[in-house]
Amino acid sequence: MDAKRETFETRLKSSAAEIEALLDLLLSPTELSDEIARPDLLRSAMHYAVLNGGKRLRPFLVVESAALLGGNRQAALRVGAALECIHCYSLVHDDLPAMDDDDLRRGKPTVHIKFDEATAILAGDSLLTYAFDIIAAPETDLPDRSKTELVLAIARAAGLGGMAGGQALDLAAETQAPNEAGIIRLQAMKTGALIRFACEAGAIIAGASTEDRQRLRRFGEKIGLAFQLADDILDLTSDIKTMGKATGKDAARGKGTLVGLHGMEWADKQLRRHVEDAEELLVPYGERAALLITAAHFIAERKS
């Protein structure tokens, strides 16, 4: 393994450990002020949904984007934890029988299998809500204006015009296959929006200039495209053991993907192009951006 990749993997692991420790604390049985009680079954399901493995890529992007622009690390960790709560909620709800109907996630039983469907729905609901709590709480040491910007940006990324809307388009795609532009839009919403937020959040936390914020946002967009393309390739080429979840489902359902439309050779080339574009965007930051650039490569080359 080359040195840059090694540094990246070490940093990804250490930020994942910090995020997990924070999530564990946030999901402890002790009530926060103004909470009346924390029902233990629901709290346990949330804890299980969040602390069951996972690469913690989105929080890593928040932390490292903030670090690039001189943002407060503790605040970035909290925003990363909030984002991971939303990501995990989306996985819990996506796995439900009414959606993808999966029994396995991150190599373990999905939340509705381990607990029950109603608890899984409520765990997702509560994780989504908790994300806004974590950002707005006094423990997140940021100016109120930055918190408002973060809450607005994460809401737009997760809601009707972002991830949840993308999931609705994805469900509709099972009965009517979208064209290429439709696939790109669906994926930008369903998967891309949270990844773009992760990178833009770093700039907001750092109180960066509009230009820096825009640059990080575009970087997030590019690696979001790479992430989804890699996911489509893995859905076709990987197996349940490596991925920790069912594979081949998109193809089996005749769901349109860019790989299905253009073939594997095109997808590989396109993936390289997205990573090059992402790298190009960070040129102004020189060596300081090396870690984020290695992250872009990792996203494109990941095996799970």
CB of 275 to ligand GRG, least distance (A): 17
Nearer to ligand GRG, 206 or 229 (CB): 229
Measured distance CA(18)–CA(62) in Å, rounded? 13
Using CB under 6 A as the binding criterion, the count of chain residues that bind ligand GRG stands at 15
Quick one: which segment of 25-33, 111-119, 160-168, 198-206 binds ligand GRG (CB under 6 A)? 160-168
Give the nearer residue to ligand GRG in terms of CB position, either 15 or 90: 90
Residue span 79-98 as binding mask against ligand GRG, x where in contact by CB under 6 A, dash where not: --------x--xx-xx----
**CB of residue 93 to ligand GRG, shortest distance in Å:** 4
CB 32 within 8 A of CB 116: no
Which one of 11, 106, 108, 114 is in contact with ligand GRG (CB under 6 A)?
A: 106
Shortest CA distance to 68 belongs to which of 297, 223, 291?
A: 291
- Residue 65 Cβ vs ligand GRG, minimum distance, rounded to whole Å: 16
Task: Choose the binding region for ligand GRG from 49-57, 108-116, 198-206, 287-295 (rule: CB under 6 A).
Answer: 49-57
Site string for ligand GRG, 54-83 (x = CB under 6 A): xx-x--------------------------
The yes or no reply on residue 231 touching ligand GRG (CB under 6 A) is yes
Give min distance, CB of 144 to ligand GRG, in A.
28
For Cα atoms 211, 56, 274, give the angle at the middle one, nearest 5 degrees.
50
146 vs 228, beta carbon nearer ligand GRG: 228
Contact stretch for ligand GRG (CB under 6 A) within 5-13, 21-29, 51-59, 206-214:
51-59
Give the residues across from 109 on adjacent strands: 104
Using rule CB under 6 A, residue 233 touches ligand GRG: no
For ligand GRG, the closer of residues 146 and 167 by Cβ is 167
Binding mask 188-227 for ligand GRG (x = CB under 6 A): --xx------------------------------------
- Chain positions 107 to 146 lying near ligand GRG, rule: CB under 6 A, are none
The pair phi, psi for residue 179, each rounded to 5°, is: -80, -175
Nearest distance, CB of residue 303 and ligand GRG, angstroms: 11
Task: Give the chain as a DSSP string.
Answer: --HHHHHHHHHHHHHHHHHHHHHHHHTSSSPPTT-----HHHHHHHHHHHSS----HHHHHHHHHHHHTT--HHHHHHHHHHHHHHHHHHHHHHTSTTTT--SEETTEE-HHHHS-HHHHHHHHHHHHHHHHHHHHSTTS-S-HHHHHHHHHHHHHHHSTTSHHHHHHHHHHTTTS---HHHHHHHHIIIIIHHHHHHHHHHHHHTT--HHHHHHHHHHHHHHHHHHHHHHHHHHHH--HHHHSS--SHHHHTT---HHHHH-HHHHHHHHHHHHHHHHHHTGGGGGGGHHHHHHHHHHHH---
| Interacting residue ranges for ligand GRG, rule: CB under 6 A | 54-55, 57, 87, 90-91, 93-94, 106, 163-164, 167, 190-191, 231
